[in-house]
């Protein structure tokens, strides 16, 4: 396979051709980024990358965004990548710079996000001598990257960086680390620069097209299905295949559910969408999964938050699985029709064949199946107390939806607020819901939102968070001020590590061991001290007006401290080790009023 650097085709060279010009390693790093069409580098300087920072001085094509912690740099690059589909880029120094980046690298790895992380390293002659700020970055990051490189010779620098972009952005995307010893960027050693051409790797051939025979078998199953369901995931977003998916789902008339990572790839307000599935998925989605006879899994990886106890997972189903990574297929659940390929490509082929075999209007209407689903839906599993005197977190998310007219980039931290957002904010477009699913990294939301806002300066960008999560990367409020990023932070402040508290309530007889966040800061003052606007709301009646006011401040970051019911739980819930049909539902509305 032959592909040029991921973003080179669309981006015209924006500065004089430097081919053949003598450049130092540091200048080559910068030039390579320019050649890749990189807009932003999220970074933090230090000894081992000072030559590179010097080459970045007054650089205008590639904009450097100075974060306040390397974890922030990785999440910001990650948020940028998730929102745009382009490769996120970070630059950090050796030792502590690299180790601080590890959480963000692992976060990107678990969710298959394309990123290139350039790390400084001690000079080659002293590698292995426990030199100042030396860590084995390649060794530390090995299990949480798609690939990594140590560049020992300046002549390999340009090609290695191009390879890194190529690997990060093709096939199943993922983060790639390029570790660069300081002497390799020495400003006094110059070599003629030659932009590397197309990259081919004899050891790496991502699959594009699905096997036609397998696609035919899949379509046969679609035709015969009585109780089919689409189960789609992050792969549809990553593969930019929303259109193809939407067409196929509409053509078949089948119900569709999505993982946390795939939300928005199919419009969530469409009646065919029956909600998220999994641990905190809807009753109807999980029941439909349990009863389905043909499961069409697309770009989803059968995560344990989705399958519950494997023995109870989709016991009646023939399973079709489309995934670009062969190792995702039959990893935890044995599938019947595996299809390795790019999701967009495979879906288009499936649609073509389906249309040939089932001309529009001739499909079975699946009346019984939809009637069954309607019955499950009638349980109204997401109902909550709308008359509460305290702000319910669900109500806060619904209000956010109303105020932003559903047109929002929403990043999230990790906890109950994340689940409430997934359940109550119906996204109709992909790349709008940005959260850490696989690693579940608290601290992700704020820096990720910075990356999104930089990519889309005119868009509404908000971060939903909890009072515990937000403190994990709170320092990035300073970055937001420096670059004028008018984010809206919606803090659902329940005074607890709510998700932890909920587990303790259910499984540890309400022993709330260390899940209460005592000594919280005054978030309004905190926001103000960083130069932003702070707001506090604690009455349901005030919320909408306050949110309207916040979003009307187009050029200010507004930190909304929303005081919510401290004891609300996320329902439905499938306890660990239970089957997907064994959901824990909310005590009914009526019960609650009696109590």
Ligand X SMILES: Cc1ncc(C[n+]2csc(CCOP(=O)(O)OP(=O)(O)O)c2C)c(N)n1
* 132 carries an active-site annotation: yes
Sheet holding 115-121, edge to edge: 63-66, 40-43, 88-92, 115-121, 175-181, 147-150
What residue spans of 325-415 are helical by DSSP H? Answer: 343-357, 367-377, 393-403
Binding mask 425-454 for ligand FAD (x = CB under 6 A): ------------xx-x--------------
Neighbours of 416 (CB within 10 A): 23
Q: Determine, following the binding rule CB under 8 A, whether residue 139 of this chain makes contact with another protein.
A: yes
**Minimum separation from the CB atom of position 167 to ligand FAD (A):** 14
Distance, CA of 298 to CA of 285 (rounded, Å) = 16
Entry field: residues in the chain: 595
Q: Of these, 295, 297, 468, 526, which contacts ligand X (CB under 6 A)?
A: 468
Handedness of CA 348, 353, 357, 359 (dihedral sign): positive
Spatial CA neighbour of 423 closest among 560, 571, 561 = 571
Q: How many residues bind ligand X (CB under 6 A)?
A: 19
Site for ligand FAD in 409-428 (CB under 6 A): 414, 418-419
Q: Is 567 helix (H, G, I), strand (E, B) or coil?
A: coil
Q: Determine, following the binding rule CB under 8 A, whether residue 312 of this chain makes contact with another protein.
A: no
Q: Determine, following the binding rule CB under 8 A, whether residue 125 of this chain makes contact with another protein.
A: no
State the catalytic residue, choosing from 9, 22, 132, 224: 132
Residue 116 pairs in a beta bridge with: 89, 176
Binding mask 479-508 for ligand X (x = CB under 6 A): -------------x-x-xxxxx--------
Q: Determine, following the binding rule CB under 8 A, whether residue 202 of this chain makes contact with another protein.
A: yes
CB nearer Mg ion, residue 259 or residue 441: 441
* 70 carries an active-site annotation: yes
Q: What are phi and psi of 141, to 5 degrees?
A: -90, -10
Q: Enter the tokens of residue 515.
A: 């899940």
Q: Determine, following the binding rule CB under 8 A, whether residue 2 of this chain makes contact with another protein.
A: no
Partner touching 150 among Mg ion, another protein, ligand X, none, CB below 5 to 8 Å by kind: another protein
Spatial CA neighbour of 563 closest among 523, 527, 531 = 523
CB nearer ligand X, residue 177 or residue 500: 500
Spatial CA neighbour of 462 closest among 423, 429, 500, 425 = 425
HSE, side-chain direction, 13 A CA sphere, residue 310: 9
State the catalytic residue, choosing from 27, 36, 70, 467: 70
Q: Determine, following the binding rule CB under 6 A, whether residue 521 of this chain makes contact with ligand X.
A: no
Partner touching 334 among ligand X, another protein, Mg ion, none, CB below 5 to 8 Å by kind: another protein
Q: Of these, 118, 373, 414, 463, which contacts ligand X (CB under 6 A)?
A: 414
CB nearer ligand X, residue 170 or residue 469: 469
CB nearer Mg ion, residue 104 or residue 466: 466
HSE, side-chain direction, 13 A CA sphere, residue 6: 23
Q: Determine, following the binding rule CB under 6 A, whether residue 175 of this chain makes contact with ligand FAD.
A: no
State the catalytic residue, choosing from 182, 254, 350, 551: 182
Site for ligand FAD in 303-322 (CB under 6 A): 303, 305-306
Sheet holding 409-412, edge to edge: 433-434, 409-412, 461-466, 488-493, 558-563, 533-537
Q: Is 420 helix (H, G, I), strand (E, B) or coil?
A: helix
**Minimum separation from the CB atom of position 147 to ligand X (A):** 25
* 247 carries an active-site annotation: no
Binding mask 210-239 for ligand FAD (x = CB under 6 A): -----------------------xxx--xx
Q: What are phi and psi of 536, to 5 degrees?
A: -125, 135
Residue 43 pairs in a beta bridge with: 66, 91
**Minimum separation from the CB atom of position 207 to another protein (A):** 11
**Minimum separation from the CB atom of position 163 to another protein (A):** 9
Q: Determine, following the binding rule CB under 6 A, whether residue 342 of this chain makes contact with ligand FAD.
A: yes
For residue 63, give Cα distances in angstroms to 42, 185, 195, 503, 585. Answer: 9, 20, 20, 44, 49
Stretch that binds ligand X, among 256-264, 300-308, 412-420, 532-540 (CB under 6 A): 412-420
* 182 carries an active-site annotation: yes
Cβ partners under 8 Å of residue 114, min gap 6: 6, 81, 86, 87, 88, 168, 169, 173, 174, 175
Catalog residues that contact Mg ion under the rule CB under 5 A.
466-467, 494, 498
Chain centroid, CA 344 distance in Å: 19
Binding site for ligand X (CB under 6 A): 413-417, 440-442, 466-469, 492, 494, 496-500
Binding site for ligand FAD (CB under 6 A): 111-112, 172, 233-235, 238-239, 259-262, 276-281, 299-301, 303, 305-306, 323-325, 328, 342-343, 414, 418-419, 437-438, 440, 499
Catalytic residues: 70, 132-133, 182, 499
């Amino acid at each position: 396979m032959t592909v040029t650097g991921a973003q080179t085709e669309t981006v015209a060279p924006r500065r004089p051709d430097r081919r053949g010009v003598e450049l130092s390693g540091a200048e080559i790093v910068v030039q390579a980024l320019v050649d890749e069409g990189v807009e932003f580098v999220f970074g933090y300087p230090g000894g081992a990358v000072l030559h590179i920072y010097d080459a970045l001085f007054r650089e205008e094509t590639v904009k450097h965004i100075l974060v306040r912690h390397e974890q922030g740099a990785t999440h910001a690059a990650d948020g940028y990548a998730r929102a745009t589909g382009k490769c996120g880029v970070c630059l950090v120094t050796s030792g502590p710079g690299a180790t601080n980046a590890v959480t963000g690298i692992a976060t990107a790895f678990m969710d298959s996000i394309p990123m290139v992380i350039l790390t400084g390293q001690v000079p080659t002659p002293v590698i292995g001598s426990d030199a100042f700020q030396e860590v084995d970055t390649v060794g530390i990051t090995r299990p949480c990257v798609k690939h990594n490189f140590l560049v020992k010779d300046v002549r390999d620098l340009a090609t290695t960086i191009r390879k890194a972009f190529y690997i990060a952005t093709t096939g199943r995307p993922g983060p790639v680390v390029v570790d660069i010893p300081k002497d390799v960027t020495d400003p006094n050693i110059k070599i003629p620069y030659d932009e590397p051409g197309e990259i081919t790797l004899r050891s790496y051939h991502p699959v594009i097209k699905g096997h036609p025979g397998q696609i035919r078998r899949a379509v046969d199953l679609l035709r015969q299905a009585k109780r089919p369901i689409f189960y789609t995931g992050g792969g549809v977003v990553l593969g930019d295949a929303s259109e193809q998916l939407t067409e196929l789902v509409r053509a078949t008339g089948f119900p569709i559910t999505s993982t946390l990572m795939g939300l928005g790839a199919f419009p969530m307000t469409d009646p065919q969408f029956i909600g998220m599935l999994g641990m905190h998925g809807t009753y109807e989605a999980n029941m439909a999964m349990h009863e389905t006879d043909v499961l069409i899994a697309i770009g989803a990886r059968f995560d344990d938050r989705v399958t519950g106890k494997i023995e109870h997972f989709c016991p009646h189903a023939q399973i079709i699985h489309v995934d670009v990574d062969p190792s995702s297929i039959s990893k935890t659940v044995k599938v019947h029709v595996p299809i390795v390929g790019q999701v967009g490509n495979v879906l288009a082929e499936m649609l073509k064949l389906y249309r040939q075999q089932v001309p529009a209007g001739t499909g079975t209407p699946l009346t019984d199946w939809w009637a069954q689903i309607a019955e499950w839906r009638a349980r109204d599993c997401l109902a909550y107390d709308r008359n509460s005197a305290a702000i319910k977190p669900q109500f806060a998310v619904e209000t956010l939806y109303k105020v932003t007219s559903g047109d929002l980039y929403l990043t999230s931290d990790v906890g109950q607020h994340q689940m409430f957002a997934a359940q109550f904010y119906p996204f109709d477009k992909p790349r709008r819901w940005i959260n850490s699913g696989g690693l579940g990294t608290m601290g992700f939301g704020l820096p990720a939102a910075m990356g999104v806002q930089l990519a889309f300066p005119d868009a509404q960008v908000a971060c939903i968070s909890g009072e515990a999560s937000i403190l994990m990367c709170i320092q990035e409020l300073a970055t937001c001020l420096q670059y004028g990023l008018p984010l809206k932070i919606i803090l659902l402040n329940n005074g607890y590590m709510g998700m932890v508290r909920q587990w303790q309530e259910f499984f540890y007889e309400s022993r709330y061991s260390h899940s209460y966040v005592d000594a919280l800061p005054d978030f309004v003052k905190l926001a103000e001290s960083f130069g932003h606007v702070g707001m506090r709301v604690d009455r349901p009646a005030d919320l909408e007006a306050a949110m309207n006011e916040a979003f009307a401040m187009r050029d200010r970051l507004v930190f909304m401290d929303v005081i919510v019911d401290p004891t609300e739980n996320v329902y439905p819930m499938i306890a660990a080790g239970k089957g997907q049909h064994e959901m824990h539902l909310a005590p009914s509305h009526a019960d609650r009023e009696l109590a």
